Amino acid sequence: MNPDLNRLQPYPFEKLTALKAQVSAPEGLTHIPLSIGEPRHPAPQFVLDCLTSNINRISNYPTTKGMPELREAIANWCQRRFKLNTGTLTAEDHVLPVNGTREAIFAFTQALIERKPDALIATPNPFYQIYEGAAYLAGAEPYFMPCLAENGFIPDFDAVPEEVWQNTQLLFLCSPGNPTGAVIGSDILKKLIALSDQYDFVIASDECYSEIYFDEQNPPAGLLQACAELGRDDYKNCVVFHSLSKRSNLPGLRSGFIAGEAELMQKFLLYRTYHGCSMPIQHQLASIEAWNDEEHTIANRAVYTEKFARVTEILSPVLNFSQPEASFYLWPETPVQEEVFAQKLFAEQNVTVLPGSYLSRTINGENPGRNRVRMALVATLDECIEAAERIRRFTESL
């Protein structure tokens, strides 16, 4: 077996299951899970109708590259959403559909990394754990950049040593951030693009939370948008990952895309042809409907906006946290050690949250997830309000 498999840590939810197994939840209180970022809002009915009406397409093999109509819908959405220059991001050369961003992020890393003893992948800390696993199994080492409150939960890229940039082959960004909700602005993105030119690394921007934000007039910037503002219409060294899971409440559809520099997409298509992960045709047809519609995403954001307002009103007197710029997470400080907080909250109130240290790594004695928990406001409005009231009672009892 690949010896690098031994370097993989248990997934955060495995650690959480073990933590909760040491105690029992109280009888008489229904469980409210705020630990996993699985949207619980209803899926758009018109997407489900398209899926079921085309179920007979299950008898057809899909192609790795995907249907031209899907790639066209994605390219058009990118152009509208990120104000790209017309015709610069094409369905033929710059877009590939993928079965969710997790699969694509992992696979892209394997295709990209040149195995060298000093190969590095720079990643935020805390982070989506697939970044770390993809690095190890590609034969690279992760370089963790802490996301701290004093820097707006964005990595301090100026603090990265030059020798790290020299050995970096891939820089992962997550904006809006998981678990912090922090957004990397266009100015920083342009600075990173300049660094990628100087040191010749690829920027992979995980933007799957980009469509959950609170100001309709100010959506989060994206990496391709920064390229367009620079006149960098070849998107050199830049790729982005997007998904319908959060945007359209379709996590089980496993539908997303990767888009960016044409040469990178060409090589990644070759890899995927061997990898064998084509999206089912009925899923592609349903995805076209989702990418072509914005009304359901506006309605979805309105629900999240109300939930954050109500939950913030309840919790802000007892917990210290910043209002996120985007995403559906809260990242509060805890008055006791984060594992103790999460375990006792479950044991006393039957609410599950995720210890921040499970999403982070300790570097030089510092773990940016220490004394924090992640709360995913994905349940219904009433459930989120009930969970917030229970968390407040529990916190006041400490």
pLDDT in tens, 220-252: 999 999 999 999 999 999 999 999 999 999 999
Stretch 368-377: mean pLDDT, rounded? 98
Considering the chain, tell me which residue range(s) the CATH 3.40.640.10 domain(s) occupy. 56-293
* Phi, psi dihedrals of residue 340, rounded to the nearest 5°: -60, -45
- pLDDT above 90 covers a percentage of the chain that reads 96
Q: CATH class for domain 3-42+296-397?
A: alpha beta
pLDDT of residue 373: 98
Q: At what angle do helices 130-137 and 101-112 cross, to 10 degrees?
A: 30
pLDDT of residue 35: 95
Between strands 95-98 and 256-260, the pairing is antiparallel
Cβ-Cβ contacts under 8 Å for 176 (sequence gap 6 or more): 182, 183, 207, 209, 210, 212, 213, 220, 324, 325, 326, 327
Distance between CA 209 and CA 377 in Å, rounded?
13
Residue 283 has, within 13 A of its CA and on its CB side, a CA count of 23
What is the CB neighbour count within 10 angstroms for residue 67? 18
Residue bearing tokens 């050995």: 167
* C-alpha distances out from residue 54 to 4, 49, 59, 393, Å: 42, 9, 10, 49
Task: Tell me the pLDDT tens digit for each residue of 78-100.
Answer: 999 999 999 999 999 999 999 99
Residue 276 clears pLDDT 90, i.e. is over it: no
Residue bearing tokens 């039957």: 350
Helical segments of 25-177, H only: 45-53, 68-82, 101-112, 130-137, 162-167
The answer as to CATH 3.40.710.10 being correct for domain 56-293 is no
pLDDT of residue 89: 98
Distance between CA 84 and CA 93 in Å, rounded?
15
Band (pLDDT 50/70/90 cuts) for residue 126 is very high
Closest CA to 173 of 101, 278, 74: 101
Q: Is the preceding omega at residue 12 within 30 degrees of 0, hence cis? A: no
Residue 277 clears pLDDT 90, i.e. is over it: no
* C-alpha distances out from residue 5 to 15, 135, 169, 351, Å: 18, 11, 21, 33
User: Is 112 in contact with 102 (CB distance < 8 Å)?
Assistant: no
With residue 98 as reference, give the H or E element that holds it.
Answer: strand 95-98
Between strands 32-33 and 351-352, the pairing is parallel
pLDDT of residue 202: 98
pLDDT of residue 290: 98
Average pLDDT of the chain to the nearest whole number:
96
Residue 275 clears pLDDT 90, i.e. is over it: no
Q: pTM (2 decimals)?
A: 0.96
Residue bearing tokens 């248990």: 10
Task: Tell me the pLDDT tens digit for each residue of 19-41.
Answer: 999 999 999 999 999 999 889 89
Stretch 259-271: mean pLDDT, rounded? 97
Between strands 168-174 and 238-243, the pairing is unpaired
Cβ-Cβ contacts under 8 Å for 217 (sequence gap 6 or more): none
Considering the chain, tell me which residue range(s) the CATH 3.90.1150.10 domain(s) occupy. 3-42+296-397
Q: What is the DSSP letter of 236?
A: T
With vertex at residue 222, the alpha carbon angle to CA 217 and CA 225, rounded to the nearest 5 degrees, is: 90
User: Is 161 in contact with 201 (CB distance < 8 Å)?
Assistant: no
* C-alpha distances out from residue 3 to 6, 105, 115, 139, 214, Å: 6, 21, 15, 10, 45
Q: What is the DSSP letter of 372?
A: B
Cβ-Cβ contacts under 8 Å for 173 (sequence gap 6 or more): 124, 184, 189, 192, 203, 204, 205, 206, 223
Q: What is the DSSP letter of 249?
A: T
Task: Tell me the pLDDT tens digit for each residue of 48-80.
Answer: 999 999 999 999 999 999 999 999 999 999 999
User: Is 81 in contact with 242 (CB distance < 8 Å)?
Assistant: no
pLDDT of residue 396: 97
| Largest CA-CA distance found in the chain, in angstroms, rounded | 60
Distance between CA 317 and CA 189 in Å, rounded?
35
Closest CA to 281 of 85, 68, 29, 60: 60
